[in-house]
Amino acid sequence: MTTAAAFFDLDRTLMSGSSAYYFGKAVYREGLVSRRRLARDAGNAVLFRLYGASDEKSEALRDRILASVAGHEADIFRRLAASVIEELLPRIRPEAQALLDMHSEAGRDVYIISASPVEIVSELARALDIEGGLGTESEIVDGVYTGRLAAPFCYGEGKAVVLRKLAADEGYDLARCYAYSDSASDLPMMQLVGNPIAVNPDRPMMAVAHRRGWPVVEFARERKQIIRLSVASGGALASAACGYGLGRRHERRSAPLRRLPRRVLSR
């Protein structure tokens, strides 16, 4: 049994955009939200991709998702999850996929942890063949969504609550665990683990990372390669991501992973 795990934020970390937007598209195709609402969500998704999200915007998104599912049978959204995953998988960054592979090969359990609905996050984790997905859980009574949360909103301090519970249940040593995120909203989660890594960080996250000596990884926006790795302490953890592509599992398991410093992989 492993005592270490790696936790990855989803939006703007594993993928460049907003997973909630693709959930909204699926809900729209099912006739559960209006075209106007979808257009507004599309605009928000563009802004999120460029600038990230504030606490207020994230809470508003939570409320919209809860309102959209309220009164509907849970089976509908579980069924929709498959079509959402088809759109998300091509948007997983090849560099991020390489990091998932690296941690799996090092014997660590790997999780996605996201504010997106757990139905989407857990299904994506299965598609990526990793240990699990942690997301926002909506309350279900008699097979129907109530429009209320069943657990802490998996955002900000809520992510830290969810992570602590999982670590206690699974016996993970948080000092040996890793966490990846772009946003300062995830600082409660990042500060729990012994190995926090900032990925394409927003300005507040970048400032904290430099001040605390966290590794900082930036992926090229246009070309799929790492353009900068700033390591204030530790080794070149994420250099393994260079040159990796989706659907090329045998190539991903080649030399770049072996060039990582031994002391990083042995933590």
CA distance 18 to 144: 26
Please state which of the ranges 29-33, 45-49, 57-61, 187-191 shows the lowest mean pLDDT: 45-49
pLDDT at 20: 75
Please list, in sequence order, all residues whose beta carbon lies within 8 angstroms of the beta carbon of residue 145, skipping any fewer than 6 positions away: 66, 69, 70, 71, 72, 73, 74, 77, 138, 139
CA distance 168 to 219: 33
Paired tokens of 217: 């990884």
pLDDT at 235: 39
pLDDT at 175: 97
Is residue 9 part of the annotated active site? The answer reads: yes
pLDDT at 144: 87
Instruction: Compute CA distances 158 → 41, 54, 134, 194, 195, whole Å.
Output: 23, 15, 11, 19, 19
pLDDT at 166: 96
pLDDT at 241: 39
pLDDT at 24: 72
The ranges assigned to domains in the chain are: 5-265
pLDDT of residue 45 exceeding 90: no
pLDDT of residue 90 exceeding 50: yes
Paired tokens of 223: 């070309």
Instruction: Compute CA distances 152 → 59, 74, 172, 215, whole Å.
Output: 12, 19, 21, 29
CATH tag, 5-265: 3.40.50.1000
pLDDT of residue 104 exceeding 90: yes
- Please say whether the beta carbons of 102 and 7 come within 8 A: no
pLDDT of residue 212 exceeding 60: yes
Instruction: Indicate which residue of 9, 41, 182, 186 is catalytic.
Output: 9
The dihedrals phi and psi of 181, each to the nearest 5 degrees, come to -160, 160
User: For the residues 151-156, what does the mean pLDDT come to?
Assistant: 87
pLDDT of residue 42 exceeding 60: no
Is residue 11 part of the annotated active site? The answer reads: yes
pLDDT of residue 184 exceeding 60: yes
CA distance 61 to 68: 10
pLDDT of residue 52 exceeding 70: no
Encoded amino acid at 67, one letter: A
pLDDT at 219: 81
Global confidence as pTM: 0.73
- Please say whether the beta carbons of 182 and 201 come within 8 A: yes
Position 138 confidence tier, pLDDT thresholds 50, 70, 90:
confident
User: For the residues 178-199, what does the mean pLDDT come to?
Assistant: 96
Instruction: Indicate which residue of 11, 101, 182, 186 is catalytic.
Output: 11
pLDDT at 57: 57
pLDDT at 10: 94
pLDDT of residue 237 exceeding 70: no
Position 74 confidence tier, pLDDT thresholds 50, 70, 90:
confident
In the chain, % helix, strand, coil (3-state, to 5) comes to 50, 20, 30
Helix (H, G, I), strand (E, B) or coil at 267: coil
